[in-house]
Amino acid sequence: MSQHPGNSSEVAHLSEQITREHLAASWALSGLAIGMAQHWFISRRMERIGACQEQLATLVGEQASLEMVMEIMENSPAQKSGPQPRQGR
């Protein structure tokens, strides 16, 4: 990743935000929300991840930002453990 000096704090903040949004979307898959509400919630999280990736691209470049997002999503606890079974079924 080719960061410009002074941008590491903002890059770290955006990476944290992407992680939180991805976890929230993953948790929605196993939560109590169903149907359209669940779809809307997950879609919003993914839109926010996209917005963060666009901001990262201005700081570190398009390719590096895509690599960061993929690494975050592949290494998230939710991804490693897989979707949890729904309660009450």
Query: Domain for residue 89, yes or no?
Result: no
Identity at 22, one-letter amino acid code: H
**Residue 38: CB atoms within 10 Å:** 15
Q: What pLDDT sits at residue 85?
A: 45
Tell me the pLDDT tens digit for each residue of 30-55: 766 566 677 888 899 999 999 999 99
Query: Domain for residue 64, yes or no?
Result: yes
Q: Look up residue 39 and give its two tokens.
A: 């779809």
Query: Domain for residue 88, yes or no?
Result: no
Give the domain range for residue 44. Answer: 9-80
Q: What pLDDT sits at residue 5?
A: 55
Count the domains in the chain.
Answer: 1
Query: Domain for residue 2, yes or no?
Result: no
- Cα torsion through 80, 81, 83, 89, rounded to 10: 170
Query: Domain for residue 49, yes or no?
Result: yes
If you compute the radius of gyration of the chain from its CA atoms, what whole number of angstroms results? 15
- Kindly give the parts of the chain with pLDDT less than 70: 1-6, 31-36, 78-89
By C-alpha distance, which of 83, 80, 73, 81 is closest to 19?
73
